[in-house]
Amino acid sequence: MNTTKPLPRALTREELKLLRKAGLDPAFLDGDTTVKVSVGMVDWILDHVYQNHDFTNTPYPECLELATKTYKLTYGLNQEVKNS
């Protein structure tokens, strides 16, 4: 397994469908997102999207950051607004 930190990427359509099927897409939850769902989403993204990387000894904040960036890229939420 690769131990180099991967760059975030958007989920594919199939991956997103599987995340939703697992009940871990916060966009499809009624009410507030629970910590349990957020943690589950992080684990799911790391285990399914970056399965060739070993996160065993990676600090959790780095795991959370990667999964969050991945989710935001999936929904196009990382668009930077440039001032002209």
The model carries a pTM of: 0.82
Do residues 37 and 23 make contact, with C-beta atoms less than 8 angstroms apart? yes
What is the tens place of the pLDDT at every residue in 23-66? 999 888 777 667 788 889 999 999 999 999 999 999 999 999 99
Q: Please tell me the predicted confidence (pLDDT) of residue 4.
A: 81
List b or e across 6-31, with b for residues whose CB sees 16 or more CB atoms inside 10 angstroms: eebebbeeebbebbeeeebbeeeeee
Distance CA 18, CA 73 (A): 17
| 53: helix, strand or coil | strand
Q: Where exactly are the structural domains of the chain?
A: 31-77
Tokens linked to 11: 């989920």
